[in-house]
Amino acid sequence: MQNSLNCLAIVCEASGRIREVLYNGLKDMENAAGDLFFHDILHQDSMQKAENFWKQLDEQGLALNWELNVQVNGEICTLDFTGVRVQDNMVITAGDSRDILNDLYQELLKVNNEQTNLIREAYKKYSTQAREQQFMEEGNTVLQEMTSLNNELTNAQRELARQIVRLEKLNSQKNFFLGMAAHDLRNPLGSIKLYAELLQEDMKHQLSETGAGMLDKIQSLSRFMLGMVEDLLDVTKIDSGQINLQLENVRPGRVVQDALDPLRMLAREKDISLNCHVLEDLPQVNLDVAKFTQMVTNLLTNAIKYSPSGSTVDVRLYTRDGYLVLDVSDYGQGIPGEEMDRLFAEYQTTSSRPTQGEGSVGLGLAIARRLVEAHDGTIEVQSSQGAGTTFTITLPMHLKSGHDALHKEKKTIEQKPLNFSGRILVAEDEPMNQTILARYLDKMGVEYKLVDNGQKVLQALQEDSFDLILLDIVMPEMSGVEVLQRLRTIEKEQGREKLPVVVMSALDHEEQENFLQAGADDLLPKPFNFQRLQRVLGSILSPEAG
């Protein structure tokens, strides 16, 4: 038998006295039977442990895998002890390992003597209990590992929850500061752009080619920065969950045409043709006009930006299977297939570059997708490198939720006149905006009076008569909202006809709609736009003859 020097098999009485040595691989155990007790064969430092071993063996009938020290050839050796109670006897085996104990039992069973049955019964009991203990140990190990993993998972979930709360707080703070910074930048950037336009108009015959190019660059950069600021404002609102649809029953073809008009100049600057194909007799659909316009604008701006000079951008609006479908196609450089997955991610750009070096912060398409999804629609893209890209928006004709917003039919002006008759009261406290408005109104030949706070508006109305008020919302002493409320109250009490009021504001569409509900007749968003101002005046004032 291998490693026989480190094996031992003895039979002890209940008192602990060694009755018989069945196998002795320990030379120090010669003549042990009848003269020694179990504890006598152990080293002194294992006495306490040996008492516990014997107690378990006596009470439970089985003690497995106890490591006890013995002295072998003058040296201390640790052996694995196992005890089995068979009738009134304690069969105890010891060895270097469990495998050696198994070998020892097998060896003892080959001996055909009166102890064979005793050993066979002890081995049977040992084998059964050993397997059960091994199973339990393995089960306990698995259970401990599962418990450990579960604890780690619980801790990880708690940490993840804490990090999510922290990130949500940081994201909220980021959105707040981005929104605040963008809002504060929008008006001065708009003014820079408008001043550059006015300067270019006044001095177009006096500027050198270099000077004219510099002014063009100022306009281009200010337009880009203004667009970036608008995108930042949009994405901060969207990330904050502030997408409130103001649904109107409208003709989508007209909305698309209106969205194209401001972009035709941008396309002309790059010698790009904008073609619009609208299916005749399109039904009216429920849309948030401002947000649908923004979807169209973002896709068109993107198409123009990546199209080469002399090319075409096609816009198609039609119905398919009960859905409204908008296609915007360019014939530019296309998008690499491996970059399509990140196309609609915020602050992501592709390796394709704008054809005239225009800037991009990677928000336009992300915003378009979020607005489309708010309408329960989808946006898809097909692209081929070197052949162009087509974006397709599909919207349901009738949304399941939402309500019709206040919808006013406004007069359309086929030939927008330059001059209007009537007197206008302009309430604006910002000097730059005053200068721009005065310049625009002078250009249109309109008589006007400028005041810089809400209190002066009411005072001017007492002293003189006007045909229209251009009313800023944020003003000192009395806000535009208070002025509007007081004016409508006075008109109602005195039975006077309502004086048209156009609200001027840099606030978003939803907040501006509140002013319409409060009694305003129209909205003039900031930064100002000459064509928009002309259109607003044309819907209220009469054009001058000639």
Q: What is the rounded distance in angstroms from the CA atom of residue 129 to the CA atom of residue 210?
A: 98
In which residue are the tokens 């993840």 written? 160
44 SS3 class: helix
Containing 142, the helix (H) or strand (E) segment is helix 116-202
For the segment 73-94, the average pLDDT, to the nearest whole number, is 85
Which of the pair, 322 or 421, is modelled with greater confidence? 322
Q: Quick one: pLDDT at residue 326?
A: 93
The pTM (predicted TM-score) of the whole model is 0.47
Q: Which runs of consecutive H residues, i.e. helices, occur in 240-329?
A: 252-269, 289-305
Residue limits of CATH 1.10.287.130 in the chain: 143-242
Q: 108-117, 225-234, 369-378, 429-438: which range is least confident on average?
A: 108-117
- Give the CA distances from residue 336 to residues 31, 333, 349, 359, in Å, rounded to whole numbers and listed in that order: 90, 9, 12, 19
Q: Which two tokens stand for residue 390?
A: 């087509």
Q: Quick one: pLDDT at residue 97?
A: 76
Q: Which runs of consecutive H residues, i.e. helices, occur in 16-115?
A: 47-60, 98-109
Q: In what order do the strands lie in the sheet with 323-330?
A: 273-278, 312-320, 323-330, 388-396, 378-384
The model's pLDDT over 5-55, given as tens digits with 9 standing for 90+, comes to 578 888 889 889 988 888 887 765 555 566 788 988 888 899 999 999 999
Residue limits of CATH 3.40.50.2300 in the chain: 423-539
Q: Which two tokens stand for residue 251?
A: 């003709």
Q: Quick one: pLDDT at residue 205?
A: 77
Q: What is the rounded distance in angstroms from the CA atom of residue 19 to the CA atom of residue 475?
A: 110
Which of the pair, 132 or 545, is modelled with greater confidence? 132
Asked if 457 contacts 451 with a C-beta cutoff of 8 angstroms, the reply is yes
Cis peptide before 527 (omega within 30 of 0): yes
The model's pLDDT over 229-273, given as tens digits with 9 standing for 90+, comes to 766 666 666 666 666 677 888 888 888 888 887 788 778 888 898
Q: Read off the amino acid at residue 52.
A: N
- Closest by CA position to 195, among listed 502, 434, 419: 434
Q: What's the sign of the alpha-carbon dihedral 220, 224, 229, 231? A: positive
Which of the pair, 404 or 482, is modelled with greater confidence? 482
Q: Quick one: pLDDT at residue 411?
A: 37
In which residue are the tokens 């849309």 written? 287
For the segment 153-171, the average pLDDT, to the nearest whole number, is 82
Taking all residues of the chain, what is their mean pLDDT, rounded to a whole number?
78
Which of the pair, 332 or 329, is modelled with greater confidence? 329
For the segment 278-303, the average pLDDT, to the nearest whole number, is 85
- What is the per-residue DSSP string for 81-107? EEEEEETTEEEEEEESSHHHHHHHHHH
- Closest by CA position to 238, among listed 175, 183, 194, 154: 175
pLDDT at 113 over 60: no
Residue length of the chain? 546
For the segment 112-118, the average pLDDT, to the nearest whole number, is 54
Q: Quick one: pLDDT at residue 422?
A: 82
Domain covering 249-396 assigned CATH 3.90.70.10 in the classification: no
Asked if 252 contacts 397 with a C-beta cutoff of 8 angstroms, the reply is no
Beta bridge pairs of residue 404: 247
The model's pLDDT over 337-349, given as tens digits with 9 standing for 90+, comes to 777 777 777 666 6
Q: Quick one: pLDDT at residue 52?
A: 93
Q: Quick one: pLDDT at residue 406?
A: 34
* Percent of the residues in the chain that have a pLDDT greater than 70, as a whole number: 74
Q: What's the sign of the alpha-carbon dihedral 217, 220, 226, 228? A: negative
* CATH pick for 143-242 out of 1.10.287.130, 3.40.50.2300, 3.40.50.970, 3.40.50.2020: 1.10.287.130
Q: Quick one: pLDDT at residue 345?
A: 74
The model's pLDDT over 412-446, given as tens digits with 9 standing for 90+, comes to 333 344 567 788 999 998 888 888 888 888 888 88
For the segment 165-172, the average pLDDT, to the nearest whole number, is 75
Query: What is the distance, to the nearest Å, from the Cα of residue 285 to the centroid of all Cα atoms in its chain?
Result: 30
Containing 190, the helix (H) or strand (E) segment is helix 116-202
| Third-level CATH fold of 7-128 | Beta-Lactamase (3.30.450)
- Count CA atoms closer than 13 A to 61's CA, side-chain side: 10
The model's pLDDT over 56-69, given as tens digits with 9 standing for 90+, comes to 988 888 888 899 99
Q: Quick one: pLDDT at residue 533?
A: 85
For the segment 272-290, the average pLDDT, to the nearest whole number, is 85
CB-CB neighbours of 439 under 10 Å: 18
pLDDT at 325 over 90: yes
Domain covering 423-539 assigned CATH 3.40.50.2300 in the classification: yes
Q: Quick one: pLDDT at residue 400?
A: 44
Residue limits of CATH 3.30.565.10 in the chain: 249-396
Secondary structure letter of residue 280 according to DSSP: T
pLDDT confidence bin for 450, thresholds 50/70/90: very high
Containing 538, the helix (H) or strand (E) segment is helix 530-538
For the segment 355-381, the average pLDDT, to the nearest whole number, is 79
Asked if 513 contacts 405 with a C-beta cutoff of 8 angstroms, the reply is yes
pLDDT at 448 over 80: yes
pLDDT at 117 over 50: yes
* Percent of the residues in the chain that have a pLDDT greater than 90, as a whole number: 11
The model's pLDDT over 149-159, given as tens digits with 9 standing for 90+, comes to 888 888 888 88
Q: What is the rounded distance in angstroms from the CA atom of residue 243 to the CA atom of residue 235?
A: 10
pLDDT at 403 over 50: no
Q: Find the angle CA(506)-CA(508)-CA(510) to the nearest 5 degrees.
A: 140
- Give the CA distances from residue 37 to residues 67, 78, 184, 274, 437, in Å, rounded to whole numbers and listed in that order: 18, 19, 95, 108, 114
Residue limits of CATH 3.30.450.20 in the chain: 7-128
The model's pLDDT over 174-224, given as tens digits with 9 standing for 90+, comes to 666 665 665 566 667 777 777 777 787 777 778 888 887 788 777 766 766
Q: Quick one: pLDDT at residue 68?
A: 92
In which residue are the tokens 């607005």 written? 371
Beta strands in 51-197 (DSSP E): 62-72, 75-86, 89-95
Secondary structure letter of residue 307 according to DSSP: S
